[in-house]
């Protein structure tokens, strides 16, 4: 774990420190060796959260994109069950960063436990995953949205990542450690087609900060809108028509502002 409590304050591991677990209150010791990333571990071998996996530099980098008070948040269910989310935003979106293999039953359990869950999956764990993944994609359209960039459909069964995650009912982002992009497998639609969208990595991170200051859940609205697409072509059309509607709305608002404000009309006429 990245954090433990010392005198009630969350603190990262440093040599010779001791603390208590943020979830169960058990004693924690700092592990600050030369080979593994510095972390906290329970003093006994008993782990309080069976869903936790050994943290890698990849995990730590992803957590570091977000505020510290969003990282390693304890999430409680109504029945009292609790687990430590990798990141939980102030709009209650849980981001789980998955590096190792995961049992399908556990994945289903996490989907049910975290009501607003997004998976970010390391796509380089197995040597052939990235090759199989990109060879299985059929490019359909450029979406030209700040978040979703291009739309693809999966046209091959020789794709281990797709087989592992295709039945997921929440968004899954595959990270192949490209500097600019992630690859989003949208929840399987009613027609059973797998739609993949190229996503701007920077926008994926920033949208959660924009969500924090927005009255609406813009991240949730975006994915509810995108997940209703029945094909990659339909995904393109949805964003195409939404963009046209937004442009038309801006034109109408500008026309209304000019109609209500003669000063704007005079200035516009002067510029002409």
Tell me the pLDDT tens digit for each residue of 118-169.
999 999 999 999 999 999 999 999 998 999 999 999 988 788 999 899 878 8
pLDDT at 272: 42
> Across residues 41-66, what is the average pLDDT?
90
Q: Residue 245 and residue 255: Cα distance in Å, rounded?
A: 15
Tell me the pLDDT tens digit for each residue of 213-266.
999 999 999 999 998 898 999 999 999 999 899 888 888 888 888 778 766 555
- Contact predicate 119/171, CB 8 Å: yes
Q: Tell me: pLDDT of 8 over 70.
A: yes
Interacting residues of 236 by C-beta distance below 8 A, sequence separation 6+: 140, 141, 142, 143, 151
Q: Residue 181 and residue 214: Cα distance in Å, rounded?
A: 24
Q: Residue 194 and residue 131: Cα distance in Å, rounded?
A: 18
Residue 231: how many CB atoms within 10 A of its CB? 16
Q: How far is CA 160 from CA 131, 136, 154, 164, 259, in A?
A: 10, 10, 12, 6, 59
DSSP 118-153: EEEEETTSSTTHHHHHHHTEEEEEE---SSEEEEEE
Higher-scoring residue by pLDDT: 266, 58: 58
Confidence of residue 53 (pLDDT cuts 50, 70, 90): confident
- The mean pLDDT of the chain is 90
Q: Tell me: pLDDT of 212 over 80.
A: yes
> Across residues 203-210, what is the average pLDDT?
96
> Across residues 94-100, what is the average pLDDT?
96
pTM: 0.88
């Amino acid at each position: 774990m990245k954090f433990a409590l010392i005198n009630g304050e969350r603190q990262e591991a440093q040599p010779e420190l001791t603390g208590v677990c943020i979830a169960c209150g058990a004693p924690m010791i700092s592990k600050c060796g030369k080979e593994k990333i510095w972390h906290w571990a329970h003093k006994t071998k008993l782990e309080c959260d069976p869903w936790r996996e050994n943290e890698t530099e990849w995990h730590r980098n992803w957590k570091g994109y977000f505020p510290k008070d969003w990282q390693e948040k304890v999430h409680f269910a109504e029945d009292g069950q609790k687990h430590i989310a990798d990141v939980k935003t102030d709009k209650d979106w849980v981001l789980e960063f998955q590096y190792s293999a995961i049992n399908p039953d556990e994945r289903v359990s996490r989907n049910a436990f975290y009501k607003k869950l997004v998976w970010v999956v390391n796509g380089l764990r197995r040597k052939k995953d990235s090759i199989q993944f990109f060879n299985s994609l059929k490019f359909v359209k450029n979406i030209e949205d700040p978040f979703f960039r291009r739309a693809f459909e999966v046209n091959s069964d020789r794709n281990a990542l797709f087989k592992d995650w295709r039945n997921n009912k929440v968004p899954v982002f595959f990270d192949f450690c490209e500097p600019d992009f992630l690859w989003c497998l949208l929840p399987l639609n009613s027609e059973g087609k797998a739609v993949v969208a190229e996503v701007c990595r920077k926008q994926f991170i920033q949208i959660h900060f924009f969500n924090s200051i927005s009255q609406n859940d813009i991240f949730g609205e975006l994915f509810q809108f995108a997940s209703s697409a029945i094909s990659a072509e339909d995904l393109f059309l949805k964003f195409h028509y939404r963009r046209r509607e937004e442009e038309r709305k801006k034109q109408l608002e500008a026309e209304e502002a000019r109609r209500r404000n003669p000063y704007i009309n005079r200035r516009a006429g002067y510029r002409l």
